[in-house]
Amino acid sequence: MLIREWGIAGLLMLAGISTGNAAEYSLRAVYPAGGRVGSEIEIEVCGNKLDGPYQAVVSGSGVKATFIGKKLVKKTDKKGRPVTVPVPGSFRFRVVIEKDAQPGVRMFRLAYARDLSEPLGFDVADLPELRAASKKGAAVERCRVSDMPLYLNGRVRAAEGDRYAFTAAKGAVLVAKAVAGVLPFNGFVPALTFCDANGKPCGEVKRYGVADAPVSVFEVPQDGEYELRITAAEGDPGAASVYRVKMGELPLITSFDPVSAIKGESLNVRLSGHNLPRQRVRLFTGGKNSEMCLDKITEGAEALPAICFDLRESGAATDLIEKPDFLAWMTPASLNIPANGSAQVTVRLRRLNGFEGAVRVRLDYPPLGIACSGGLVPAGKDACRMKVFTDGRRYPRTVFELALTAEGDVNGTKLRRAVTPVRYAGGEGVGKFREFAGLAAKVAQ
């Protein structure tokens, strides 16, 4: 499941009894934020008001999380005796990633008897994994990297951050890229700094200012020892400042030309970037849309999130004029609906290029017992409230794939846009938001 920048999938949980929406439970971080195909790992989740989840819900197939218990730490009591105490709001899960699990970012949620938490990303990949061993209050130790490419997992607990030591040969071009979509929901953004063996930042580094997913490219000047230092560019260090970074001589596309074409055209696309095995891609646009063209261009390589491709209907001059359009989002990203009841969803629009028409929002082919009402954004308005409800029919332990679609009209032409679930950093409609692709519904007794 792909995750856009500041984006993630939504999930509906229809429970026999519900106390309201999942905003009550705030999932802040999952550590580590990913794992390798065919492995079994233990992860820690933490957040606010997390009290006794009984299971985790992971989107897609091939990944299962089993609740172990509360996170425990050793302390000394008032009499100087060692005791083991639970960490408030922190829980442990055992995650099994099957051999045939599809690589990509999944949605991880905590499930309670009555409610479902808002989601965070969990990345499934097929490369070696390395986890930093730094602990709160301990001196920063260098973690040795032996094989690349690989994924680095850690938590920035102090201002000094984590250090990964490696040996590199002159002329190598190393790419360190934070995984988009798995950062914790607390304002933390990592900084990726290549240094020499003495900890001095190297000058042969190119940085790409990708919001929430920084990329650093290091051209090794001579054979020797180096290190990658991961610190906090934004946010406070702590146990919830989790990162996941892909590192190695990765092919990275930073731009390409041309960035648009007419449907049915065949063209050569010139690539720019680092470690690219080829400089051009032959693109056949017949039978494709813009996203499929982009997938073909970037196939086998990393790419900056801002890169896009525009496939036009024709070469007429009118096609070069930006047409009226809109984008649509919904909150919350997780919704709990009582049996024979309903929950409210807020739909927000971003109107583009003068579009002022009315927009109707609907569920696409929902299963029996799930429906919606309302969902009309009047002409000239930017938001509406709609209800998603159930008639009481139960589907115990069943997960449904759902989608919301927004429809508008421009001079007799229908515009259909997917409604993307989002989660705001500062509460409903406040601050930055993450946007998630896909929508599902879980029904539970």
* 356 CB neighbour count, 10 Å cutoff: 12
Q: Is the pLDDT of residue 317 over 90?
A: no
Looking at residue 8, its pLDDT comes to 31
pLDDT category of residue 86 using cuts at 50, 70 and 90 = confident
* Percent with pLDDT over 90 in the chain: 49
Report which of residues 194 and 70 the model is more confident about.
194
Contact 338, 15 (CB under 8 A): yes
Q: Is the pLDDT of residue 142 over 70?
A: yes
| Secondary structure E strands in 49-103 | 55-58, 63-76, 82-97
Q: Is the pLDDT of residue 45 over 50?
A: yes
Contact 157, 134 (CB under 8 A): yes
Q: Is the pLDDT of residue 4 over 50?
A: no
DSSP for 234-257 reads ES--STT-EEEEEEES--EEEEEE
Residues 249-304 have pLDDT tens digits of 999 999 999 999 999 999 999 999 999 999 999 999 999 989 899 999 999 999 98
Residues 190-246 have pLDDT tens digits of 999 999 999 999 999 999 976 778 999 999 999 999 999 999 998 899 989 999 999
Report which of residues 135 and 342 the model is more confident about.
342
- Give the end-to-end CA distance of the chain in Å, rounded to a whole number: 27
CA proximity to 434, closest of 48, 1, 3, 2: 3
Domains of the chain (ranges, CATH numbers): 21-124 (2.60.40.10), 129-248 (2.60.120.380), 252-300 (no CATH), 325-444 (2.60.40)
Q: Is the pLDDT of residue 20 over 80?
A: no
Contact 210, 252 (CB under 8 A): no
Contact 231, 190 (CB under 8 A): yes
Q: Is the pLDDT of residue 398 over 70?
A: no
CA distances from 320 to 29, 33, 313, 314, 316 (A): 43, 42, 10, 9, 7
pTM: 0.85
From 122-131, 139-148, 365-374, 388-397, the region with the lowest mean pLDDT: 388-397
